[in-house]
C-alpha cells in the first residue's frame, strides 16, 4: 500500500541559482570556472591538432623562432615597429587556424590587468615630465614630497603617452607570441621541445605531470560540486556553506596526496628510473629551415626599421 505522504502532490523546490543580490553563489561560480578551464584546455589541444602554418613546423623550430621574435620585441623601442610586429603576429594567428576572436580575448583580458598599474601613472607629468597634451586638474600651487614634484597643472604628456603606447605594444606582442606557441603546440611536444634549451629532464617531467593532474583535480572539483547540487533542495546558512567548502578542500587535498602516492608506485612498478623516454622523435625538414631563414629576415628588418625610426625621431 502506498503511504499517504508519497501519494501527495509535493512540487519540487527549485534549486536557488542566485543569491538575493542577484549574483551567482560561490558553488555555481566554482562549477562554471571549472568548466571554463576544461573547455579552454580542450580547445587548446584541438587548435594544436588542426592543419595550419605553425602546426606544420617542427616543435623545436616553432619554439626557437617564436622565442627569437619575443627577444626581438624586447629590443625594439619605436611604437610603430612594435605594433607592426604585433600585426604580423595576428597574420600568423590567422594562418595557423586559430580563432581570431578567441585569441584576442585571451590576450587582451590579461594585458589591462597587468599593465594598467604601470601605464596609467606614467601618462601624467607627475611621473613623466614633458609636453602637456590634456590638462586633467589644476591645483592651487605646486607641491614637493621628497623626490616627487607635483606641478600646479596635472596633465597627460606626449612623452608619457608615447611610453605607455610602447609598453602596451611590447606586452601585447610578447604575450601574443607566448599564447600562440601554447595554442599551436601540443603539451607533450612543447615539453619535449624544451630539451633544445637544455632544460633539466626532471623539470620537464614535473611540468608535464602537473598539467595532466591539474585537469584531473579540476574534474574532481567539478564532480564534487555537481553531486552536491544534484542532492540539495535547500542551501544552508553562509557559515554552513563555508564549513562544507572547507571540508571538501581537505578531502581534495587528501585525494591529491593519495593520487600522487599511487602514481609514484605505478611508475616505479613499470621501471621508471628518473629518465624520461619519449616515443616520437622530431625531424626538421626543408620547410623548417626556410621558416628559420624567414624569421631571421623578419627580425633583422624590424630591428633595422626600429633603429631608423629612432634616428628619424631624434
Neighbour-count burial of 190, counting CB atoms closer than 10 A to its CB (0-12 exposed, 13-18 middle, 19+ buried): buried
Alpha carbon distance 10, 30 (integer Å): 30
Percentage of the chain exceeding pLDDT 70: 78
pLDDT band at 24 (very low <50, low <70, confident <90, very high): low
- The residues pairing with 143 across neighbouring beta strands, listed in sequence order, are 150
- The H or E element spanning position 136 is strand 132-138
- The H or E element spanning position 238 is helix 238-269
Residue among 55, 53, 65, 57 nearest 298 (CA): 65
Return the higher-pLDDT residue of 218 and 2: 218
pTM of the model: 0.71
pLDDT band at 4 (very low <50, low <70, confident <90, very high): low
Asked whether residue 218 carries a pLDDT value surpassing 90, the answer given is: no
pLDDT at residue 95, as a whole number: 92
pLDDT band at 16 (very low <50, low <70, confident <90, very high): very low
Mean pLDDT along residues 72-97: 92
Amino acid at each position: 500500500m502506498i503511504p499517504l505522504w508519497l501519494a501527495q502532490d509535493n512540487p519540487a523546490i527549485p534549486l536557488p541559482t542566485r543569491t538575493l543580490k542577484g549574483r551567482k553563489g560561490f558553488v555555481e561560480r566554482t562549477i562554471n570556472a571549472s568548466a571554463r578551464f576544461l573547455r579552454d584546455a580542450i580547445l587548446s589541444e584541438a587548435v594544436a591538432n588542426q592543419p595550419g602554418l605553425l602546426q606544420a613546423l617542427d616543435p623545436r623550430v616553432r619554439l626557437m623562432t617564436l622565442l627569437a621574435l619575443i627577444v626581438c620585441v624586447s629590443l625594439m623601442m619605436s611604437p610603430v615597429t612594435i605594433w607592426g610586429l604585433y600585426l604580423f603576429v595576428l597574420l600568423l594567428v590567422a594562418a595557423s587556424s586559430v580563432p581570431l576572436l578567441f585569441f584576442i580575448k585571451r590576450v587582451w583580458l590579461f594585458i589591462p590587468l597587468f599593465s594598467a598599474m604601470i601605464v596609467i601613472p606614467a601618462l601624467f607629468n607627475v611621473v613623466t615630465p614633458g609636453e602637456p597634451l590634456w590638462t586633467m586638474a589644476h591645483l592651487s600651487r605646486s607641491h614637493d614630497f621628497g623626490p616627487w614634484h607635483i606641478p600646479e597643472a596635472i596633465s597627460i604628456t606626449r612623452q608619457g603617452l608615447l611610453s605607455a603606447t610602447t609598453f602596451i605594444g611590447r606586452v601585447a606582442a610578447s604575450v601574443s607570441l607566448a599564447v600562440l606557441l601554447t595554442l599551436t603546440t601540443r603539451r607533450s611536444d612543447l615539453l619535449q621541445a624544451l630539451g633544445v634549451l637544455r632544460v633539466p629532464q626532471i623539470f620537464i617531467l614535473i611540468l608535464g605531470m602537473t598539467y595532466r593532474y591539474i585537469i584531473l583535480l579540476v574534474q574532481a572539483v567539478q564532480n564534487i560540486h555537481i553531486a552536491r547540487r544534484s542532492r540539495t533542495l535547500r542551501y544552508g546558512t553562509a557559515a554552513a556553506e563555508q564549513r562544507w567548502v572547507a571540508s571538501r578542500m581537505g578531502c581534495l587535498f587528501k585525494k591529491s596526496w593519495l593520487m600522487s602516492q599511487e602514481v609514484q608506485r605505478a611508475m616505479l612498478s613499470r621501471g621508471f628510473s628518473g629518465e624520461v623516454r619519449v616515443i616520437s622523435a622530431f625531424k626538421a625538414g626543408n620547410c623548417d629551415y626556410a621558416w628559420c631563414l624567414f624569421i631571421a629576415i623578419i627580425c633583422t628588418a624590424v630591428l633595422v626599421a626600429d633603429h631608423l625610426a629612432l634616428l628619424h625621431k631624434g
